[in-house]
Chain A
Amino acid sequence: MSVQDISVKPSTDALFSGSSRTSRRNMGQFIRWALLFGGGILMIMPIVFMLSTSLKFPFEVYNLNLIPEEPTIENYTYVLEDGRFYHWFWNSLIIAILTTVSAVFFDALVGYALCKFKFPGRYIVFIAILSTLMIPTEMLVIPWYLMSKSFGWLDSYWGIMFPGMMTAFGTFLMKQFFETVPDDFLEAARIDGLNEFQIWWQVAMPLVRPALAALAIFVFLGNWTAFIWPLIVTNSADMYTLPVGLSSFGDEVDVAWELIMTGAAISTLPTLVVFLVFQRFIIRGVVMAGLKG
Chain B
Amino acid sequence: MRFYQNLTISQKQIAWAWTFLALPVLFYVVIRFYPTANAFVLSFQEWNLLGARSFTGFDNYVRLYNDPVFWKVFRNTFLYLILGTPVSLVLSFIIAYHLDKVRFMHGTIRALYFIPFMTSAVAMAWVWRWFYQPVPIGVFNNFLATLGFGQIEFLSSTTNALPSVLAPAIWAGLGFQVIIFMAGLRAIPQSYYEAARIDGVSSWTVLSEITIPLLKPTVVFLVVFSSIGFLRIFDQVYNMTTNNPGGPLNSTKPLVLLIYDTAFNGFNMGYAAAQTVVLFTILLIVSLIQLRLLRDR
Contact = CB atoms under 8 A, between A and B. Distances in A.
B141 to A, nearest CB: 11
Identify whether the interface residues of A are mostly helix, strand, loop, or mixed. Answer: helix
A265 B142 CA distance: 22
A111 B269 CA distance: 35
A41 B16 CA distance: 53
B194 interface: yes
B183 A40 contact: no
Contact of B279 (A136, A244, A290): A136
A272 interface: yes
B118 A272 contact: yes
A228 interface: yes
A13 B34 CA distance: 54
B38 A143 contact: yes
Interface string B126-161: 111111000011010011000000000000000000
A129 interface: yes
Given A16-B197, A257-B137, A287-B183, A33 B102 contact: yes
Given A37-B105, A138-B256, A279-B111, A267 B123 contact: yes
B130 A11 contact: no
A188 interface: no
A12 B100 CA distance: 8
Interface residues of A, number: 103
Given A139-B36, A140-B39, A224 B100 contact: no
B272 A142 contact: yes
- Most B Cβ at <10 Å: residue of A3, A43, A243: A43
Nearest to B40: A139
A50 B119 CA distance: 12
B16 A196 contact: yes
A15 B115 contact: no
B179 A290 contact: yes
B283 interface: yes
Contacts of B206: 12
B297 to A, nearest CB: 15
A36 B102 contact: yes
A62 B137 contact: yes
Which range holds the interface residue count of chain B?
Answer: 35 or more
A17 to B, nearest CB: 10
A173 interface: no
B144 to A, nearest CB: 12
Nearest to B35: A143
Interface in A130-157: 132, 134-136, 138-147
B101 A11 contact: yes
Contacts of A106: 23-24, 27
B20 A165 contact: no
Contacts of A5: 186
B171 interface: yes
- Most A Cβ at <10 Å: residue of B16, B116, B238: B16
A139 B260 CA distance: 10
A271 interface: yes
A156 B234 CA distance: 23
Contacts of B75: none
Interface in A245-293: 246-247, 250, 255, 257, 260-261, 263-265, 267-268, 271-272, 274-276, 279-280, 282-283, 286-287, 290-291
A200 B21 CA distance: 13
Contacts of B62: none
Interface in A213-246: 221, 224-225, 227-228, 231-232, 242-244, 246
Nearest to A112: B20
Interface of A: 1, 3, 5-7, 9-13, 15-16, 18, 29, 32-33, 35-37, 39-41, 43-44, 46-47, 49-50, 53, 61-62, 64, 106, 109-110, 112-113, 117-120, 122, 125, 128-129, 132, 134-136, 138-147, 162-163, 165-166, 168, 171, 196-197, 200, 221, 224-225, 227-228, 231-232, 242-244, 246-247, 250, 255, 257, 260-261, 263-265, 267-268, 271-272, 274-276, 279-280, 282-283, 286-287, 290-291
